[in-house]
Amino acid sequence: MPALETCQPVLEIHPLGLRDYASTLAEMQAYTASRTVDSPDQLWITEHPPVYTLGLNRRGVRLPQNAIPVVPVDRGGKITYHGPGQLIIYCLIDLARNHLNVRQLVTILENSLIDFLHDHGIRAVARADAPGVYIEGKKIASLGLRLKNQCCYHGLSLNVAMDLQPFADIDPCGYAGMQMTQTSDLHIALGMADIAVDITQRLKEKLTHVRPEPH
């Protein structure tokens, strides 16, 4: 008998441009709720107008005292800020089909960012106690995911060339005094579009080379 061929799950890339946060969240939720075994995995590339998002861990959160809206969301974690000049990549992934658990996906997201920064001469690290990517103690990228029926949504945000001041009005991800940084302050001479292509390609390569763990 001929060997059975295994089909690699499809991974679609969707550049969305600047999009309202609440409507984008609703679309992610709707796509995830309606998925079938044949639904393609997707990466959504976007930016948002200024908005704070408040995760499910809301105890002790310091809310901002400014005019930027705060939107309660269903991801893990506490509060963070999104604004123009920040790269957002939402990951709509069927974890079971890709032989992944949440921790493995988080590692793929973090390592894609760390590898990108390394290739530009910058040493970045992940932290076991606080998902995200850090450079000399300053946070450059945040992660947050939601799992439903073994399919995830939400994803990562990378600070590229944005106004960082709104972060000072909160405790980013629940950490008082957390300092933020971004690629433009690190003299990475790439704009948003080029960084998006680079990071997306790294994610695609890592996601499409996942192999099931031996039993």
Catalytic residue set: 173
Residue 44 neighbours by CB under 8 Å, 6+ apart: 14, 16, 24, 28, 88, 89, 90, 92, 155
> Residues forming the annotated binding site for substrate?
75-82, 142-144, 155-157
What is the C-alpha separation between 156 and 12, in angstroms, rounded? 17
The tokens describing 187, both together, are 């003299």
Backbone angles phi, psi at 165, to 5 degrees: -55, -40
* Residue type present at position 2: P
Binding-site residues, in ranges, read 75-82, 142-144, 155-157
Sequence-distant (≥ 6) Cβ neighbours of residue 59 within 8 angstroms: none
CA distances for 162 relative to 35, 59, 113, angstroms = 34, 28, 18
Report yes or no: 34 and 64 within 8 Å, Cβ to Cβ.
no
